[in-house]
């Protein structure tokens, strides 16, 4: 199968007062079309930089990012983004927030069609009836659902998520994982999910990429051997426990600790 | 009930203020030329009502014109400073310096620059005194926009102008209206400054001056009250605009 996202030997550093600070140093990630790639790593290892590179918001110092056979040098309309902060526009209703990308990507699309598309997505994530509400009237989990709808409303090839569930409580988070799973069944997209939650990476990912500590390189790739229609309960099976163990050990290595130690 | 309370409370407060004022004057036995009392005012309004109408109109339109200029210029300046670090560094000291100058000192400068253009000078002063808060607050609003907000649209290839129109501008509106509330009273002060200081002025300020010249103390106080009323009217006009355009930023009391 062809890889939709191809990240090859990417290096990047930021300028700081005390000289350049390398954050990525030898990053290789391949994501086949339709697959879900979860990226985990110690905090501050450059995961967010990775999202900005894939989105074309910045260019790497070295190496290449390819999307759908084209080298990424600038932003493109086929990408959707979601962040830890749902960044909904407070002056718009939930419906108009979801519509926002269509106003940029498909300016000639009739309002009626835009509304229909947004309503369809809002229904999928369980937000029917909240179309006319303002973001401030919704709970954190609901806002994040709306934010996800906005990220995929224009049917992007690639959905890039930077810890979208990081600020939610555990139960809400698990709800959203399932919402994400159900969305994937209905909406075809290739996803990159940055997370620091190993269970989340195993529940959602087809492959989990473990990054090393800063400067980050691809340290380990684990294929998640669970069926597509996963349930939270599966995370408590021996096979999942084994995978989580492997990931945990890899994170310890990334942090520069001994995986055998407690 | 809610609406009744909203209207009744401020009116009662104003009445209470007038009662205290009247009582102070009566108890101290102050004559008119020390301090007029509210009961002196109706006679002054009745006698000069035509001058009050003309003066109020002149003061009002020149204030609004000056404020309009301040909004346009302040927004532009705020945008320039909000989007460019270099412009911010360049303009801040100039702006702060300019704002620190007592505007009364500019009256003769303006008067000499544009001799006889009384209306123009007045509008200019209202503008000069009131654009600063708008420029600063819009500048800060834009420069502190969280990068994620920009990234949502930037990742779709939206232009800078689109990002400004769809996100940065609406997001800055609450700050803008906050500044406008300050600016509206400042513009008012600017207008009156010119009206009072310059000879052969117009508007309520000139009426105040003529009250002073003729030792008509109730007239002077009547002008002050008229100015206060105009100020309140303008302020609430801005509040009404804010409700319309930035009502979303208002938090419901919980």
Decide the pairing of beta strands A79-83 and A207-211: unpaired
What distance in Å separates residue A91's CA from the closest CA in chain B? 5
Tell me which residue range forms the domain holding B197.
Answer: 49-147+174-248
Name the pLDDT band for B169 (thresholds 50, 70, 90).
confident
Q: Between chains, do B153 and A154 touch, taking CB under 8 Å as contact? A: no
Q: Do B152 and A91 touch (CB under 8 A)?
A: no
> Domains in chain B: how many in total?
1
List, for residues B174-210, the tens digit of each pLDDT value. Answer: 889 999 999 999 999 999 999 888 777 788 888 998 8
Residue B251 reports pLDDT greater than 70: no
Asked whether the predicted pLDDT for residue B252 surpasses 60, the reply is: no
The pLDDT, as a whole number, for residue B199 is: 74
Q: What is the mean pLDDT of chain B?
A: 88
The fold of the A1-78+157-262 domain, in CATH, is: Rossmann fold (3.40.50)
To which H or E segment does residue A108 belong? none
The reply to whether B163 touches chain A by the CB within 8 Å rule is: no
pLDDT band for position B253 (cuts 50, 70, 90) = very low
The DSSP secondary-structure symbol of A229 reads S
pLDDT band for B148, please (50, 70, 90 cuts): confident
CATH code, domain with B212: 1.10.3720.10
Distance CA B18, CA B173 (A): 36
CA gap A88, A109 in Å, rounded: 22
pLDDT in tens, chain A (262 residues): 478 898 988 888 888 888 888 888 888 999 999 899 999 988 776 788 888 888 888 888 888 888 888 888 888 888 899 988 889 999 999 999 999 999 998 889 999 999 999 999 999 898 999 999 999 999 988 999 999 999 999 999 999 999 999 888 888 899 899 999 988 888 888 999 999 899 999 999 999 999 888 788 888 898 888 888 888 888 888 888 888 888 888 888 888 877 776 6
User: Which residues 6+ apart lie within 8 Å of A237 measured at CB?
Assistant: none
Question: Which residues in chain A have their CB less than 8 angstroms from residue B246's CB?
Answer: 91
User: Which of B151, B153, B156, B161 has the highest number of chain A CBs within 10 A, making it the mutation to test binding with A?
Assistant: B156
Query: Mean pLDDT over residues B108-119, rounded?
Result: 83
Question: pLDDT tens-digit profile of B154-164?
Answer: 888 888 888 88
Task: Name the nearest CA neighbour of B166 among A96, A146, A157.
Answer: A96
Does residue B12 lie within any of the structural domains?
A: no
In a domain, B27, yes or no: no
- Which pLDDT band, with edges at 50, 70 and 90, does B134 fall under? very high
Q: What is the DSSP letter of A137?
A: G
Which residues contact residue A242 at a Cβ distance below 8 angstroms, ignoring those fewer than 6 apart? none
Q: What gap in Å lies between CA B109 and CA A112, rounded to an integer?
A: 59
CA angle B70, B71, B74 (to 5 degrees): 75
pLDDT (mean) for B227-249: 89
User: What confidence score (pLDDT) does residue B137 get?
Assistant: 92
pLDDT at B125: 92
The C-alpha of A29 sits at a distance from chain B's nearest C-alpha, in angstroms, of 20
E-assigned strands of B67-161?
none
Question: Is residue B11 domain-resident?
Answer: no
Four-CA torsion B19, B24, B30, B31, nearest 10 degrees = -10
- Based on the number of CB atoms within 10 Å of its own CB, is B169 exposed (0-12), middle (13-18) or buried (19 or more)? middle
A104/B contact by beta carbon, under 8 A = yes
Domain residue ranges in chain A: 1-78+157-262, 87-155
- Does residue B192 sit within a domain? yes
Chain A, nearest residue to B163 by Cα: A104
Higher pLDDT pick, B67 / B143: B67
Say yes or no for a CB contact (<8 Å) between A55 and B166: no
Average pLDDT over residues B221-232: 91
pLDDT of B98 strictly over 70? yes
User: pLDDT tier at B69 (50, 70, 90 boundaries)?
Assistant: very high
């Amino acid at each position: 199968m062809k890889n939709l996202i191809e990240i090859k030997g990417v290096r990047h550093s930021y300028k700081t007062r005390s000289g350049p600070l390398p954050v990525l140093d030898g990053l290789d990630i391949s994501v086949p079309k339709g697959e879900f790639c979860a990226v985990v790593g110690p905090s501050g290892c450059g995961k967010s930089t990775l999202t900005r590179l894939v989105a074309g918001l910045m260019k790497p110092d070295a190496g290449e990012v390819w999307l759908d056979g084209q080298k990424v040098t600038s932003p493109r309309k086929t990408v959707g983004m979601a962040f830890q902060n749902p960044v909904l526009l407070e002056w718009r209703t939930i419906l108009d927030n979801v519509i926002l990308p269509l106003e940029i990507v498909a300016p000639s699309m009739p309002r009626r069609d835009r509304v229909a598309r947004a309503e369809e997505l809002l229904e999928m994530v369980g937000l029917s009836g909240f179309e006319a509400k303002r973001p401030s009237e919704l709970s954190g989990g609901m806002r994040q659902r709306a934010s996800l709808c906005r990220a995929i409303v224009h049917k992007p090839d690639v959905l890039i998520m930077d810890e979208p569930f990081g600020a939610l409580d555990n139960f809400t988070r698990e709800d959203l994982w399932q919402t994400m799973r159900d969305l994937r069944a209905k909406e075809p997209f290739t996803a990159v999910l940055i997370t620091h939650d190993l269970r989340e990476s195993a529940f959602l990912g087809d492959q989990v990429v473990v990054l090393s500590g800063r400067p980050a390189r691809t340290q380990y790739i684990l294929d998640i051997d669970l069926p597509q229609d996963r349930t939270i309960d599966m995370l408590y099976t021996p096979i999942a426990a084994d995978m989580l163990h492997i990931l945990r050990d890899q994170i310890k290595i990334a942090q520069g600790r001994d995986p055998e130690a407690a | 009930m809610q609406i009744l309370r909203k209207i009744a409370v401020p009116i009662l407060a104003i009445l209470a203020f007038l009662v205290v004022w009247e009582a102070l004057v009566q108890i101290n036995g102050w004559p008119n030329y020390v301090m007029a009392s509210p009961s002196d005012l109706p006679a002054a309004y009745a006698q000069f009502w035509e001058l009050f109408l003309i003066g109020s109109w002149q003061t009002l339109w020149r204030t609004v014109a000056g404020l309009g200029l301040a909004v346009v210029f302040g927004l532009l300046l705020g945008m320039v400073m909000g989007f460019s670090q270099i412009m911010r560094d360049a303009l801040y000291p100039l702006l702060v310096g300019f704002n620190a100058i007592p505007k009364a000192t500019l009256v003769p400068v303006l008067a000499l620059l544009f001799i006889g253009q009384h209306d123009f000078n007045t509008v200019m002063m209202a503008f000069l005194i009131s654009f600063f808060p708008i420029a600063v607050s819009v500048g800060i609003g834009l420069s502190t926009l969280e990068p994620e907000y920009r990234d949502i649209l930037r990742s779709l290839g939206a232009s800078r102008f689109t990002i400004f129109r769809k996100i940065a501008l609406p997001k800055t509106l609450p700050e803008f209206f906050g500044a406008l509330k300050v600016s509206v009273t400042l513009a008012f002060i600017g207008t009156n400054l010119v009206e009072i200081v310059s000879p052969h002025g117009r508007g309520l300020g000139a009426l105040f001056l003529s009250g002073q010249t003729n030792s008509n103390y109730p007239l002077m106080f009547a002008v002050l009250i008229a100015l206060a009323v105009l100020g309140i009217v303008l302020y609430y006009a801005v509040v009404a605009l804010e409700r319309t355009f930035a009502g979303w930023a208002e938090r419901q009391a919980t």
